């Protein structure tokens, strides 16, 4: 059995970033729905065969983006509309809840949609145009699914932290910080949650072990009809883990 004899308590800050503005992210989610409306209005869907093959192709992405818009509203509601805040510790873990590069990927999707003409007819759909439609469907659905996962995770995390509950998914990253002395966190205490216009900061007390010991129970082993004298009066031996002491 192992137990901790001595601890050290260190201060650290977890900074959850939402530095892409609400207006920008919300506008992208709305634009995704606008793209779906344009898709529905394409002239090629006057043809029954093309309609059956392509029209419902973006339905999964459409549903995902609709939920993404709702999640974004919730995510940004946890931020302050006016306050700015800074980490109180020099030992800082940064986590980006909605990476900015996701918006760059969305810009490529918009450009792809701009290449799809509303006036194409079914007769004009050659191999190149069909490839464009197939690629657009794949990317639209892929981004919608990914954004749904990102925003649901971010919402779940923010719901936790405002209740002063540390998100378990960040524990290993915290333990890997060079400013945390031991890689095994014994206890975490959130003593302050700061809301800013672009982030939420958790001020932490990180308790880590500095000295651990191990209790070894010794068994009495008969030997040629005799029972050897126990090493200790209790039959147990305590040694410091990492130390040089031995039986």
pLDDT in tens, 47-94: 999 999 999 999 999 999 999 999 999 999 999 888 889 999 999 999
DSSP H helices, the chain, are 22-40, 48-54, 59-77, 101-114, 127-161, 171-175
Q: What is the rounded distance in angstroms from the CA atom of residue 192 to the CA atom of residue 205?
A: 10
What per-residue confidence (pLDDT) applies to 58?
A: 97
What per-residue confidence (pLDDT) applies to 231?
A: 58
Most confident of 9-13, 152-156, 228-232: 152-156
Secondary structure tally for the chain: helices H, strands E:
6, 7
Q: What is the rounded distance in angstroms from the CA atom of residue 236 to the CA atom of residue 49?
A: 81
What per-residue confidence (pLDDT) applies to 3?
A: 45
Q: Is pLDDT of 246 > 70?
A: no
Q: What is the rounded distance in angstroms from the CA atom of residue 116 to the CA atom of residue 111?
A: 9
| pLDDT range class, residue 243, cuts 50, 70, 90 | low
pLDDT over 90, % of the chain? 55
What pTM, to 2 d.p., does this model score? 0.76
Average per-residue pLDDT for the chain: 84
| Interval 2-21: pLDDT, tens | 544 556 778 899 999 987 77
| Interval 102-140: pLDDT, tens | 888 999 999 999 999 999 999 999 999 999 999 999 999
The domain limits of the chain are 20-165, 211-240
**Beta strands 92-96; 222-223: pairing state:** unpaired
| pLDDT range class, residue 202, cuts 50, 70, 90 | very high
Q: What is the rounded distance in angstroms from the CA atom of residue 128 to the CA atom of residue 63?
A: 28
Contact by Cβ (8 Å): 158, 16: yes
| pLDDT range class, residue 232, cuts 50, 70, 90 | low
Q: Is pLDDT of 187 > 60?
A: yes
């Amino acid at each position: 059995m192992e137990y901790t004899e001595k601890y050290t308590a260190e201060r650290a800050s977890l900074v959850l970033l939402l530095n892409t503005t609400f207006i920008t992210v919300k506008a992208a989610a709305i634009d995704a729905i606008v793209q779906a409306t344009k898709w529905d209005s394409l002239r090629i869907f006057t043809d029954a065969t093309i309609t059956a093959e392509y029209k419902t192709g973006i339905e999964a992405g459409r549903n995902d983006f609709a939920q993404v818009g709702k999640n974004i509203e919730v995510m940004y509601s946890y931020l302050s509309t006016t306050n700015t805040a800074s980490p109180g510790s020099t030992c800082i873990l940064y986590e980006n809840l909605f990476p900015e590069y996701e918006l760059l990927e969305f810009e490529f999707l918009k450009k792809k949609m701009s290449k799809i003409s509303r006036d194409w007819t079914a007769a004009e759909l050659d191999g190149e145009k069909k490839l464009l439609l197939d690629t657009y469907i794949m990317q639209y659905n892929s981004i919608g699914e990914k954004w749904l996962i990102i925003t649901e995770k971010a919402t779940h995390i923010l719901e936790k932290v405002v209740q002063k509950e540390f998100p378990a998914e960040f524990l290993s990253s915290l333990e890997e910080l060079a400013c945390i002395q031991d890689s095994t966190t014994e206890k975490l205490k959130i003593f302050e949650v700061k809301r800013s216009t672009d982030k939420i900061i958790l001020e932490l007390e990180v308790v880590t072990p500095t000295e651990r010991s191990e209790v070894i129970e010794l068994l009495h082993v008969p030997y040629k009809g005799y029972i050897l004298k126990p090493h200790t009066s209790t039959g147990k031996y305590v040694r410091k883990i990492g130390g040089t002491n031995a039986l």
